[in-house]
Amino acid sequence: MPARASGRVTFGYFNNFTKVTPQVMEAWFEILKQVQNSQLLALAASGGYVEGRLHELARENSIDPQRITLCDPQPQAGYMRLIQRADVALDPFPFNGHTTTCDSIWMGVPVVVLEGDTYASRFGGSVLANVGLEDLIARSVDEYVSIAVDLAGDLDHLSRLREELRPRMAASALLDFAGFARNVEAAYRKMWQTWCARSRS
């Protein structure tokens, strides 16, 4: 686990950076303030406007910009290794991640999600519910921050999750491809039967 090796908790963000709103950044800065010596590792182009702006905002929030590292987008294998460098992943809001959340869970990294009322803001919660991580689903920004801070304060729990998450996901409905195919087939059959019944009437 990265925190065991480095002595500091690493929060990770691996979604498309266009999903990062000012409210998301405010939540991140609050998390970094509350978790001393922690760092943020984010997937985004380094050395450009985004990095400069993030570092500027960090200074405005009395956070050392060196605690924020941006890594350039990269091929799949490098992307998965990047996820491994995090202890806790932070989901964006109000537009949640989905594939990225699945990737993080597969690599043993728990994801903190803020769930909303719209379709796009419920992707992450759906994934977490399927792997038994409902306690990582926040209903407010304050709860989002609190969940992340609490996770960072319990390295034993994080270590157990890192070992358990891939097996949990493998056994969940998320990877039940045969079951999904049967459900789709059943839906098609039901639609066909409904159409036939209407055609006869």
pLDDT digits (tens, 9 = 90+) for 37-69: 999 999 998 888 889 888 999 999 999 999 999
Per-residue confidence at 176, pLDDT binned at 50, 70, 90? confident
Matching residue, tokens 């450009």:
48
| 124-152 burial: b if 16+ Cβ within 10 Å, else e | bbebbbbbebeebbbeeeeebbbbbbebb
Can you give the pLDDT at residue 168?
93
Q: What is the DSSP letter of 139?
A: S
Q: List C-alpha distances in Å: 71 to 28, 36, 132, 138.
A: 17, 22, 30, 27
Angstrom distance (rounded) from CA 43 to CA 172: 27
Confidence of residue 116 (pLDDT cuts 50, 70, 90): confident
pTM, two decimal places: 0.87
Query: Considering only CA atoms, which of 139, 129, 146 is closest in space to residue 31?
Result: 146
